[in-house]
Amino acid sequence: MSEFFRNPEQDKEDARKVAAIQRENRLNLKGLLLTLAIVIAPFLALLISVELALAALAAGLLFCAVLTWTVAGQMGPGSRSRLRTAAVLNAFVLLMVVAILVMRLVGN
């Protein structure tokens, strides 16, 4: 009896929506793992040396700043200004980390 009430067009639309949700979930998981790697890398590098930890932190900050600036260009006006502000703050912290790294390398 339920076959009489099935709508093939609605079934295709539902399958398309489920596939889109699954793709979004995979992207969210990849983003979460990337964020986790960026956060953990400096602490793992700290086990080896402070300079390596600073270099890992600088690489993560550079990646975040470039990615945030790039994504900001694709967003609406409200989000764009906030994302660009975050990218500039990341770049500012990156400059501080690089300055500390250079001072440590030159001082040794």
Domain ranges of the chain: 2-107
Tokens describing residue 33 = 């793992």
The helix/strand/coil state of 7 is coil
Tens digit of each residue's pLDDT (9 = 90 or more) over 29-41: 777 788 888 889 8
CA distance 63 to 66: 5
Tens digit of each residue's pLDDT (9 = 90 or more) over 51-62: 999 999 999 999
One-letter amino acid at 22 equals Q
Query: Model's pTM, two decimal places?
Result: 0.69
CA distance 61 to 101: 14
Residue 86: is its pLDDT beyond 70?
yes
Give the CA-trace dihedral at 57, 60, 64, 65, to 10 degrees: 60
Residue 42: is its pLDDT beyond 70?
yes
For the chain, the maximum distance between any two Cα atoms, rounded to a whole number of angstroms, is 82
